Amino acid sequence: LLRELAIARVMASFMFLSNTLAMDDYMSVSTYQDMALTTVKQLGQGHFGVVELCSHDNSSNSVPHRSELVAVKSLRDNMRSVQNTSDFRNEFDIWREFDHKNIVKLLGLSLPSGRLVMEYIENGSLFSWLSQNRKQEVPFDSIFEQLFAFSIQICEGMEYIHSKGKIHRDLAARNVMVGSQFCSLDADKISLVAKISDFGLSRRVDATKTYYRGNPEEFPVQWYAPECIKDQSYHYTSDVWSFGVTLWEIFSYGQRPEYKNAEKKSHLTLVELFNALQEGCRLPRPVNCPTSMFEIVRSCWAFKHEDRPTFTSLLGKLQKEEV
């Protein structure tokens, strides 16, 4: 039985490469040929995927000798389990339906490997952008307007995702990319645009429900709402909790959110974390975060999911904030 299981796993990996994302299923998206993609460098890797910068040779098309840069995502070699493979397909299915200025654009699928081809975002993730600025000692005040614009842009992208009946489930600064915005009114101060990415954990919500039930496995619990930690139910407003943590990352200038056990000075277990959140423990206000902004952040961290604001109401509040 074990041998058969092992064979089934290997077969499943091959299925992923050849059939899982077969051309017939996806005639509506652009297809790229693996052979026309040349890797330039690795851009980053998360828990599940590796993202590479590739140059795409267009010379077989109408424009001769023209190549474009794209970002190409594949599953990490050690992550090719049946579950992850189906999550990868799910990521494609969800992402291909999105078309919004604050969401990284999925361009298509590369065959026969089945990798995802997306627009290349030259400034990388918001997390690395924040850390770099902090390390280079760029004064926080000088980028405050830009950070505020990012907050609104992420909120707009999330409002759109929810309007499409999807939950992101992994909203964090590492999964928001920083793109360039060429037609900015105030090019000096707000020249960058936040674009939400990484739909690997995203799910479609059954139209008759307001939540999705999933496995807790290897999830980023510091970004997770209490109901996700306790019984793995993901509501639309579970994303709102994660948005609050993302705002915390932005206004703490790229620090990592960590709940620590004051007595043991160690990380909390899941049960300890849930109990602490239930007792009202929250991440502290970052020194650079204005108190009115932190009130908005705190509203995202209401213990009960039904007490949290929607992205539409958050957008209204953020737009009223004075910068």
**C-alpha span between 115 and 122 (Å, rounded):** 20
Is residue 246 at the binding interface for Mg ion, with CB under 5 A as the rule? no
Binding mask 21-50 for Mg ion (x = CB under 5 A): -------------------------x----
- Binding site partner of 203, from Mg ion, ligand ADP, none, Cβ cut-off 5-8 A by kind: none
Q: In the complex, what is the shortest distance from the CB of residue 213 to ligand ADP, in angstroms, rounded to a whole number? A: 21
Q: In the complex, what is the shortest distance from the CB of residue 249 to ligand ADP, in angstroms, rounded to a whole number? A: 13
Among 175, 242, 246, 252, binds Mg ion (CB under 5 A): 175
Among 87, 91, 156, 198, binds Mg ion (CB under 5 A): 198
SS3 call for 219: coil
Q: In the complex, what is the shortest distance from the CB of residue 243 to Mg ion, in angstroms, rounded to a whole number? A: 16
Q: In the complex, what is the shortest distance from the CB of residue 125 to ligand ADP, in angstroms, rounded to a whole number? A: 4
**C-alpha span between 133 and 137 (Å, rounded):** 6
* Residue 170 bears catalytic tag: yes
Looking at the Cβ atoms of 46 and 114, the one nearer to ligand ADP is 46
> What's the sign of the alpha-carbon dihedral 109, 112, 114, 118?
negative
Q: In the complex, what is the shortest distance from the CB of residue 85 to Mg ion, in angstroms, rounded to a whole number? A: 17
CB-based contact 123:129 (threshold 8 Å): yes
Tokens found for residue 310: 């929607």
Which residues sit at the interface with ligand ADP, rule CB under 6 A?
A: 43-49, 51, 71, 73, 104, 118-121, 124-125, 174-175, 177, 197-198, 200
**C-alpha span between 262 and 188 (Å, rounded):** 43
- Binding site partner of 71, from ligand ADP, Mg ion, none, Cβ cut-off 5-8 A by kind: ligand ADP
Q: Is 108 left (phi over 0), alpha (psi -120 to 50) or beta?
A: left
Q: What DSSP string runs through 170-206?
A: --SGGGEEEEE-TT-TTTTT--EEEEE---TT-EEPP
Looking at the Cβ atoms of 131 and 184, the one nearer to ligand ADP is 131
Cα dist from 182 to 31, 123, 124, 164, 190, whole Å: 28, 14, 17, 27, 10
The catalytic residue among 170, 198, 206, 307 is 170
Q: Which residue is nearest to Mg ion (CB)?
A: 46
**C-alpha span between 243 and 237 (Å, rounded):** 9
- Binding site partner of 120, from ligand ADP, Mg ion, none, Cβ cut-off 5-8 A by kind: ligand ADP
> Tokens 């995927």, residue?
49
Instruction: Give the residue numbers marked as catalytic.
Output: 170
Q: Which residues bind Mg ion (CB under 5 A)?
A: 46, 175, 198
